[in-house]
Amino acid sequence: MKKFPRKVTVLLFSLLMSFNASARDSFDICWSIYVGWMPWAYADQEGIVKRWGDKYEIDINVVQINDYVESINQYTAGQFDACTMTNMDALTIPAAGGVDSTALIVGDFSNGNDAVILKGTDKLADIEGQDVNLVELSVSHYLLARALNSVGLSEADVKVINTSDADMVSIYGTDDVSSVVTWNPLVSEILAMPNSHSVFDSSQIPGEIIDLLVVNTDTLNANPKLGKALVGAWYEIMGLMDGDDQAGIDARTAMAEASETDLAGYDAQLASTNMFYTPKSALDLTNSQDLLTTMKNVAEFSFEHGLLGDGAPDAGAIGIEMPAGVYGNTSNIKFRFDPSYMQMAADGTL
C-alpha cells in the first residue's frame, strides 16, 4: 500500500481537523440508554430534533450506541460531534485524551439511579473480599469508592471486574457473580431478581454524578447554531415530559418502551433522577460553587486511579472551566461548562 510522506500525512490530518471545526451544516450526536438520556430517542422519533435543526438550517443525525463507554470512545475519536456522558467520564476520556469538550446541557444528576447491588445480603460491609462487576474507571467505579469509604473499606478490600454495561444483567444472573455496580435501567432489572439488595446508591452522594450532553468545543464555537438547536430541542422535550397531561404521558411511555420498560418502570427511574426540567434549574447547579467542589473531588479520584493521562503530575493537570471558576491548569483547559446556551433557553431567545 502506498504511504504518504510524513509531512503530507500531518498536513492532511491538520486539514481534516480544520474542516471538522469549521462552519458546517451537518452533525452527528450519539447517546446510550439511560433514564436521563431517553429524551433524545423521543426527540429523534418525533421529529423534534429535525424541526430545531431546520430552524437553524442544519441537519442533526441522532444515533444510539448500545455500549456506553464505546459511545464516548467514538466521540473522542471524532466520529461524533456530541455525546451523552457523565461529568467524570467527560473528564477522564475525551478531556484526558486531549479533546477539548463542552458540557452544553446539564440534564440531571443521579439521585438513586446508580447503585451498588449485592446478592444474598443487604449489608454493604459484606462486600469485603468480593469480586465486584462494574464498568471499570466509570462513575460506577467512583460510586464504589465512595461506598467503600462510607464503611471504612477501600478498593484494596475488593476485586474489581471490568464488565460492559451491555452484559451486566446477564452476568449478574450467573451463580458466580454476587456484586455489581451499575445504573438504571439495569439497576431496576437486577433488583427484580431474587435476593438482590441495593446497599448504597447515588442518593447518598447527591449532585456528584451529573448527566450531560457534551459537544466538541471547537465544533461548537464554529457552529453556534448546533448549540442553539440541541438546547432548543432538549427543553421542548423537557416541557412535554414534565407534564401529567396526555402529551406528557405519551412522551414518557415512548421513552419507557425505548428503554424496554413500561411507564410505571420509567417513572420509577425518573423518581430517582433529579431531572432539570427547566433551564433555570440546570443553571442553578451549573453556576454554583458546589459544581466546582464536585469537579475537584472527581478530578482527585481520577488522578488517584491514573485516569488523567500518562505523566499527569497532579489532580489539576487538566483544567476544568466553570462559571464559578477554573479547577486545575488554566493553560490546559480541556473540559468546560458553558451556561450560555441554557441561559438563552431561560431567556426565551433561542
* pLDDT at 57 exceeding the cut of 90: yes
Indicate left, alpha or beta for 112 from its phi (over 0: left) and psi (-120 to 50: alpha). Answer: left
- pLDDT at residue number 1: 33
How confident is residue 253, by pLDDT bands cut at 50, 70 and 90? very high
Rounded CA separation 264/262 (Å):
6
* pLDDT at 18 exceeding the cut of 60: no
Neighbours of 288 (CB within 10 A): 15
* pLDDT at 4 exceeding the cut of 60: no
Domain boundaries, the chain: 6-109+208-347, 114-204
Tell me if residue 65 falls in helix, strand or coil.
Answer: coil
Neighbours of 317 (CB within 10 A): 18
- pLDDT at residue number 21: 63
Express each pLDDT in 206-231 by its tens digit.
889 999 999 999 999 999 999 999 99
Cell of 317: 493537570
How confident is residue 2, by pLDDT bands cut at 50, 70 and 90? very low
Cell of 85: 456522558
Tell me the average pLDDT of the chain: 92
- pLDDT at residue number 11: 41
Neighbours of 305 (CB within 10 A): 15
Q: What DSSP line would sit under 187-218, residue for residue?
A: HHHHHTSTTEEEEEEGGGSTTSSEEEEEEEHH
Vertex 88, ends 316 and 145: CA angle to 5°? 95
* pLDDT at 266 exceeding the cut of 70: yes
Q: What number is the average pLDDT over the span 23-28?
A: 94
How confident is residue 20, by pLDDT bands cut at 50, 70 and 90? low
**114-204 CATH fold:** D-Maltodextrin-Binding Protein; domain 2 (3.40.190)
- pLDDT at residue number 6: 35
For the range 50-56, what are the long-range contacts, defined as Cβ-Cβ under 8 Å and sequence gap of 24 or more? 51/233, 52/228, 52/229, 52/230, 52/232, 52/233, 52/236, 53/229, 55/229, 55/232, 56/225, 56/226, 56/228, 56/229
Coarse DSSP helix, strand, coil percentages of the chain, rounded to the nearest 5 percent: 45, 20, 30
* pLDDT at 10 exceeding the cut of 80: no
Vertex 94, ends 92 and 100: CA angle to 5°? 120
* pLDDT at 294 exceeding the cut of 70: yes
- CB neighbour list of residue 148: distance below 8 Å, 6 or more residues apart: 127, 154, 155, 157, 158
Q: How many CA atoms lie within 13 A of 269 on its CB side?
A: 27
Domain 6-109+208-347 carries which CATH code? Answer: 3.40.190.10
Q: What number is the average pLDDT over the span 296-324?
A: 93
Q: What number is the average pLDDT over the span 95-102?
A: 96
Cell of 324: 464559578
Tell me if residue 331 falls in helix, strand or coil.
Answer: coil
Nearest CA to 322 out of 109, 103, 107, 142 is that of 103
Question: β-strand 101-110 against 179-183: which pairing, if any?
Answer: unpaired
Rounded CA separation 57/163 (Å):
41
Express each pLDDT in 165-176 by its tens digit.
889 999 999 999
Side chain identity at 269, as an amino acid letter?
Q
Cell of 205: 452522594
Nearest CA to 186 out of 163, 152, 206, 158 is that of 163
- pLDDT at residue number 22: 75
Question: Above pLDDT 90, what percent of the chain?
Answer: 83
Tell me if residue 134 falls in helix, strand or coil.
Answer: strand
Nearest CA to 93 out of 76, 105, 110, 70 is that of 76
Distance (Å) of CA 95 to CA 90, 162, 287, 315, 334: 6, 22, 21, 13, 5
- pLDDT at residue number 8: 40
- pLDDT at residue number 273: 93
Rounded to two decimals, the pTM is 0.84
Q: What DSSP line would sit under 5-61, residue for residue?
A: -HHHHHHHHHHHHHHHTS--SEEEEEE---GGGHHHHHHHHTTHHHHHHHHTT-EEE
Domain 6-109+208-347 shares a fold with domain 114-204? yes
* pLDDT at 129 exceeding the cut of 50: yes
